[in-house]
Structure 1
Amino acid sequence: MNALAEVYARIERGEYPPEDGRVRIVEPSSDRDTVVASFTAHFVVAAKVDESWARSYLPAGDFSAPVGPAFLSALEQRLGKRAGCLDHALLATGLPDDPDLELTRVTSSNHGRVERSLRHRDEVRTYLTEGGVLTVGRGLAGRWEAAFEVEPAHRGRGLGRRLIRAARHLVPDGAGIWCQVTPGNAASLRAVLAAGFRPVGSEVIFEPR
């Protein structure tokens, strides 16, 4: 198993990285899976870079350096990629039975949320309900990931929480399912937490320019 996939698999089993201040430099599981992942006093940089080069930007004991602008900008230049935003990484487990929300699965959609999911995930399934869209697919290192969006006219009614909770019924019972939320998106973060997801760390994913 790839080192990055092993990190996520262990977390899904409740085995969190040690709080040792370590920064691990590992090979990405694919070119699409270039990421800087941060956990409590532990970091994983999955990128095709020389370790000695990376560590020149990462002073020992500086827990802000792996997600700081100097290192992220240097990675952008080194890899010819663009750093995405810093996202919360939240985890829940799959639930049995069907969702309590009426969803229609569609085979195509030009919704921006769907197009983003298709860039970052495999085996993407798209579901629509009145006022919202939900996607479930295989993302970083093959893990299950979900994303959702609620139309402005339907916000403030709990639909976001119901959408993201529905995602837990759309993966195998007991499987880990992840959701990424930009810290400033407080409404989405509240919905994801209310749906039973728990914060695990943060991630900066690198994309083609």
Structure 2
Amino acid sequence: MAETLRDILDAAARGVFPPADGRTTVVPQPSHQDSGVLAFTAHSVVFTDEDPAWVYAALRDVDCDGLAAPMHPRFLAALMERTGRTAETIDAVLVGSPLPGEPSLALTEIEDADHPRIVYARRRRDDVRAWAADGGVLVMGRGVAGR
């Protein structure tokens, strides 16, 4: 198993995932803004600067299947209370290498820093850029572990 969240995500981008063994791995959070839980197939990763012994004890305290415990509301509430954080929603983290060439749709970069989607993204991500596309807005930035 990789030692950092970045290692885990880099491996996933190469198609190498944590073992589907029903376990939970605890690693340090990569930055002050990045803390949480990632669920892979039959393996979870908790990234926090909290004591791993506390994390494993809190997971055991959740009255459910151990495989489900890291995403269970009771564990997530305990983690938020302990860390003073809040939650919004369960989200997907996608990793991969850039594709060659230009996108297949026309994109126009948005320079308006006050656009609501850009303002929202900048509170959670680094290096945020945005483009207008036919029928929508594409906002991208570096998120968890600089990905």
Name the TM tier (shorter chain): 0.7 to 0.9
Deviation at 1:18, TM superposition (A): 0.5
Equivalence for 2:71:
67
Alpha-carbon distance in structure 2 between the residues aligned to 1:2 and 1:31:
18
The answer to whether residue 47 in structure 2 is matched with residue 43 in structure 1 is no
Does the CA-based 8 Å contact 1:2-1:29 persist in structure 2?
no
Residues 34-65 of structure 1: CA deviation (Å, up to 9, x unaligned): 01011111111111211121111213961111
Deviation at 1:71, TM superposition (A): 0.7
**Count of residues paired in the alignment:** 143
- What is the aligned-residue RMSD (CA, Å)? 2.1
Structure 2 counterpart of 1:76, from 59, 69, 80: 80
Give the structure-2-normalised TM-score.
0.86
Alpha-carbon distance in structure 2 between the residues aligned to 1:67 and 1:2:
21
Does the CA-based 8 Å contact 1:124-1:137 persist in structure 2?
yes
The answer to whether residue 56 in structure 2 is matched with residue 55 in structure 1 is yes
Q: 1:71 is aligned with what amino acid?
A: F
Equivalence for 1:149:
none
Equivalence for 1:163:
none
The answer to whether residue 116 in structure 2 is matched with residue 112 in structure 1 is yes
Does the CA-based 8 Å contact 1:20-1:42 persist in structure 2?
yes
Which protein has greater RCO, CA pairs closer than 8 Å, 6+ apart?
1
Deviation at 1:21, TM superposition (A): 1.5
Q: Percent identity?
A: 39
- Written as runs of structure 1 = structure 2, the 5 A alignment for 1:14-25 is 14-25=15-26
The structure richer in strand per residue is 1
Equivalence for 1:201:
none
Structure 2 counterpart of 1:87, from 84, 91, 94: 91
The answer to whether residue 113 in structure 2 is matched with residue 102 in structure 1 is no
Does the CA-based 8 Å contact 1:66-1:72 persist in structure 2?
yes
Does the CA-based 8 Å contact 1:57-1:65 persist in structure 2?
no
SS of 2:33's equivalent?
A: helix
- Written as runs of structure 1 = structure 2, the 5 A alignment for 1:127-206 is 127-143=131-147
Alpha-carbon distance in structure 2 between the residues aligned to 1:124 and 1:62:
37
Deviation at 1:91, TM superposition (A): 4.4
Give the structure-1-normalised TM-score.
0.62
Does the CA-based 8 Å contact 1:5-1:141 persist in structure 2?
yes
Deviation at 1:81, TM superposition (A): 0.6
SS of 1:83's equivalent?
A: coil
SS of 2:89's equivalent?
A: strand
